[in-house]
Structure 1
Amino acid sequence: MPYSKADNVAEVLARGRLGIPSVLFFVIAAAAPLTVVAGGATTGYAVTGVTGIPVSYLIVAAVLAVFSVGYVAMSRHIVNAGAFYTYITRGLGRPTGVAAAMVALLAYNAMQVGLYGGFGAVLALFLHDQYGWSVPWWVCALAAWAAVALLGMLRIDLNGKVLAVMLVGECAVALVFDAVMVGHPADGSIAFDTLAPSHAVTAGIGAALVTAITGFVGFEGTTVFAEETKDPYRTVARATYLAVAVTGLLYGLSAWAMSVATGPDAIVDAARADGTDLIFNLVSPHLGSSVVTIGRVLFITSLFAALLSFHHTVARYLFALGRERVLPAALGRTSRRTGAPKVGSAVQSTIAVAVLIGYAAADADPITHLFFWVTVTGGLGVLILMTVTSAAVVAYFAQVDHEEGSWRAAVAPGTATIALHAILFVTVSEFDTLLGVDAHSPLRWLIPAAYAVAAFLGATWALILRRTRPDIYTGIGLGAAALAASRHSPGRRHQPA
């Protein structure tokens, strides 16, 4: 049966709906600045015991800036919602690309679903403290799930407006809190101890670095939305560099400001005692209660904004794989009315609600077991993807004619590959420290092993396609071109939707 309009498998997503500000809002919202400042930095101090958390954010920002040089250069040659998957395919081959796709789906779903634990727990606590309501965390999480599921089906530019309002508010509050903390140093003078370069080689830096990387996850999503931008060649580059710069400086500043307010020697103990309330407790004596309450509300909306942004990312990865028939073709369908990848969005929502129900039924701790462990798992997966993508950029430009110059095509991505490999090595080595478990706990190896299994299954599936469906195999990584070719191939066998 030939393809028809009724199949509604789209060659491209809705074009021309996003400019630089909208893409920037999506990717920085995924990074969830206030969540990282209030939750990530504090957790980093508490779990790792490392006082150089500000340095870890700045190191990661510098490495990601170098990574972005090759990443952005490749985006000028390949515009595809599959992002990491597509780049790795074009640089390192189809089996490696499909392996990366499975890693990406696991990583981004982990980031998205894990955030529900944080959102549910924080909102439930807020409702109890402010209004005396005793609402189970999973009720709050399911309310957020319903809102995300609905917004995921709407026009992406409308979602961008929602994220813009939330993002501007949370960044403004974070900067106000930073100014207050720096303006009221613990010992009467501003200390810069936590910014000392020597922290880069201290014990536990690997755990600190992966904590920092988790805070940046989402910035790479600029290329995921490339097909929907007005000018992908300019928009992706500018949004990527701005995202790294804005988040890196904000995280480093905020983590340092907290250490100024507590005193460098007291920051770890304060973080362990107050947890995510630390930043609010530090500014409460100097600000009105209404301002602090606004900050707490924006902390909650920050989590929601990240949920929504990661939902869009997963949906577009599924769309890219469905469009190329690597996964069921139905995933490549879009809404006629909004242009959103409706089936991919629905699948992501289904995965999320299934995990939420499972955690609620098991009565698991939403903060430790869902929010912290699962999002850290997602951060590790994205670190793996960035490392392999840097190598793929070098390989891709070595194979094609281009005018990018040696810095963008080889030196920067090669340097990023080495730096990211080093960070990945120390991250896996110190994964027990990051999780806060015993060095002999099976969790320290089971989580990294999950990505090895996902990659193996992806590579195996690609080899099966090469043998049984060569028409699909040859289209892997080609995006819209793969669908166009398959529609016009006279000998193509139909792949059921």
Structure 2
Amino acid sequence: MGLEQRTLTVPALVVMIIAASAPLTAVAGGVTTNYAVTGMASVPLSFLIIGAILLIFSIGYTAMSRYIPNAGAFYAYVAQGLGRALGVGAAMIALVSYNLMQIGIYGLFGFAASSFANASFGTAISWWVMALAAWAVVGFLGMNRVDFSVKVLGIVVAAEFLIVIIYNIMAFAVAPEAPEPATSFNLADAVAPGMGAVMAFTIAAFMGFESGTIYNEEVKDPKRTARRATMIAVVIIACFYAFSAFAVAVGEGASNVIGASVELGPDLIFAFFGAHAPLWFVDLANILFITSLFAALLAFHNVIARYFYAMGRGGALPKLLSTTSRTTHAPVAGSLAQSTLGLLVILIFAVISHGKDPMYVVFTMFTWMTNSAAYGLVLLMSLTSFAVIGYFKRNRTSDSVITRVIAPLIAGIALAYVFMQIIINFEILLGMEEPGMLGYVLQGIVILPGLIAWVLALVIGSSARKAPKANKLPVG
């Protein structure tokens, strides 16, 4: 039995995509960390630059979804555009990267939820207790109809946007200095030293935007829904985050925003609320920060479950993983597989972090895993851009030369540049002062499974050509 058919609309898919980017988390955590670590005032500009790159990327990427409506997305597109073996390798990198992103967020969720509960009720709940509670709910929702998840995410995302909008209004209302848009959006900074590091941080806030095509087997209009939803989501994310990053500079003052970000980090926005809003609103903002993380957990869980499903159906992983529910049509085997991996990692870090500072799990589980995930996903996006060119070269369609060649070529080169910046600044992203073995290990965890899968697929493919009756690795 296949996935549930034709229930997702454009608005529903936009919600799923934006939920993965976690708006409140991106602004409270990502923007302030970007200011603090890079020391650059042009963080707002970086959102517009990355947004433009991803919008160009989406032109060719979403065009592929009209011809290859596969829940494996990167996997299927690279296989069709650059060859089956490379597609299998890309699939493993995608699977590892998405799992790292989703499971890493459990660390920050557990810390944030336990800290809030302990401060509010005088308890002493460990981070992993809260992480396991979220894990159970995410697993339950992942086994149900995807439109049920959309309803949950829709409420959370709407509340997140409202909180950030209120913050933006308050920031302009109490601005200690005159706003300086010329500083925050200085086009000369686009090629300034240090902008590469800024973009390496910024693109992490967009991760999940590409997930729209993964639901193409479940949307009402497979030829238009994913394309429109992805374009809309990228524009919303880029513009909203750019303006919000500017609001952070306005609220703290252009001359003080970097220093305040270094001092307070992700607490900057909540400290601002504490100084200018009633206590109940501060508590509400903290609760919505936690639910923002939950929304990202659920969104990425649904993506990973469908990747397992697509790879099981295509033969790259055991066929058992392609099992779907008879009642909800959800990819139950993929959902269970992802939940199992999440449980194992949570338990491992629960043991490792015992007796350590509560922030330990944020600096390790969350920071290491999510930045490694961004490393892998940006590599895949660059690879997919060139796969788009390869696919349309071999398959004649009515698409324009912009869709078939120009847009994917520009996106591929731009994303390769961002990927190189992530490599160059990887230690900074991990919070390390100098290069060390940890950075190489984490990059290896992402890349090696893909390389091994690619080599194995080449060997199996070669054997299949010699013996036509042997099993192959279809795309599905």
Q: TM-score, normalised by structure 1?
A: 0.91
Q: Aligned AA for 1:270?
A: A
Q: Could you say if the C-alpha distance between residues 288 and 349 of structure 1 is closer, same or farther in structure 2, counting changes exceeding 3 Å?
A: same
Q: Distance in 1 between matches of 2:419 and 2:321?
A: 32
TM-superposed deviation, 1:206 = 2.3
Q: Once superposed, what is the RMSD of the aligned Cα atoms?
A: 1.5
Q: Which runs of 5+ in 1 are unaligned?
A: 1-9, 480-497
1:283 and 1:202, CA in 2 relative to 1: closer, same or farther beyond 3 A?
farther
> How far apart, CA to CA, are the structure 2 residues paired with 1:202 and 1:134?
47
Residue correspondences, number: 467
Q: Is the 8 A contact 1:323 1:329 kept in 2?
A: yes
Residue in structure 2 matched with residue 24 of structure 1 by the alignment: 14
* Structure 1 segment 441-456 matched on structure 2, within 5 A: 441-456=436-451
Other-structure match for 1:3: none
- Asked if the contact 2:372/2:446 (under 8 Å) is kept, the reply is no
Alignment-derived partner of residue 381 in structure 2: 386
Aligned to 1:459: 454
Q: Is the 8 A contact 2:313 2:322 kept in 1?
A: yes
> Contact (CA 8 Å) 1:34, 1:174: kept in 2 or not?
yes
User: Residue 412 of structure 2 corresponds to which residue in structure 1?
Assistant: 417
Shift of 1:447: 2.4
| 8 A Cα contact 2:376 2:447, kept in partner | no
Q: Secondary structure, in 3 states, of the residue corresponding to 2:217?
A: helix
Specify the code of the residue in structure 1 equivalent to 2:342: A
Shift of 1:265: 2.5
C-alpha distance in 1, partners of 2:283/2:463? 59
Deviation of the 1:125 alpha carbon: 1.2
Partner of 1:376: 371
Relative to structure 1, the CA distance from residue 471 to residue 96 in structure 2 (aligned partners, 3 Å threshold; closer, same or farther) is farther
Of 385, 391, 395, 1:396 maps to 391
Whether the 8 Å contact between 1:89 and 1:476 is mirrored in structure 2 is no
CA distance in 1, matches of 2:58, 2:470: 30
**Matched residue, 1:156:** 146
Q: Specify whether residues 407 and 358 from structure 1 end up closer, same or farther in structure 2 by C-alpha distance, changes over 3 A only.
A: same
Tell me which of 327, 333, 346 is aligned to 1:343: 333
Query: Structure 1 residue 201 and structure 2 residue 191: aligned?
Result: yes
3-state SS in 2 of match to 1:227: coil
Structure 1 position 129 matched with structure 2 position 124: no
Equivalent position SS for 2:474:
coil
Q: TM-score, normalised by structure 2?
A: 0.95
Identical residues among aligned pairs (%): 39
Equivalent of 2:157 in 160, 167, 170:
167
Q: Which residue of 2 aligns with 1:476?
A: 474
Alignment partners' CA distance in 1, 2:168 and 2:434: 36
Alignment match, 1:493: none
Residue in 1 that maps onto 2:179: 190
Asked if 1:248 is matched to 2:246, the reply is no
Distance in 1 (alpha carbons) for counterparts of 2:297 and 2:470: 32
- The corresponding residue for 1:4 is none
Q: Check conservation: 1:15, 1:227, Cα contact below 8 A.
A: yes
1:63-462 correspondence runs (5 A) = 63-187=53-177, 189-192=178-181, 193-363=183-353, 365-462=360-457
User: What SS class does the counterpart of residue 214 from structure 2 fall into?
Assistant: coil
1:433-461, Cα deviation, whole Å (9 max, x unpaired): 22221333122333223333122111022
Q: Is the 8 A contact 1:462 1:473 kept in 2?
A: no
C-alpha contact 1:323 1:331 (8 A) present in aligned 2: yes
Q: 1:157 and 1:116 mapped to 2: Cα distance?
A: 23
1:37-52 superposed matches below 5 A: 37-52=27-42
List alignment gaps of at least 5 residues for structure 2: none
Contact 2:457 2:473 in 1 (8 A): no
Q: Distance in 2 between matches of 1:128 and 1:191?
A: 40
| CA shift for structure 1 position 381 | 0.9
Q: 1:326–1:472: 8 Å Cα contact kept in structure 2? A: no
Residue type of the alignment partner of 2:400: G
**Structure 1: distance between partners of 2:227 and 2:165:** 26
Partners of 2:460 and 2:472 within 8 A in 1: no
- Partners of 1:168 and 1:372 lie apart in 2 by 26
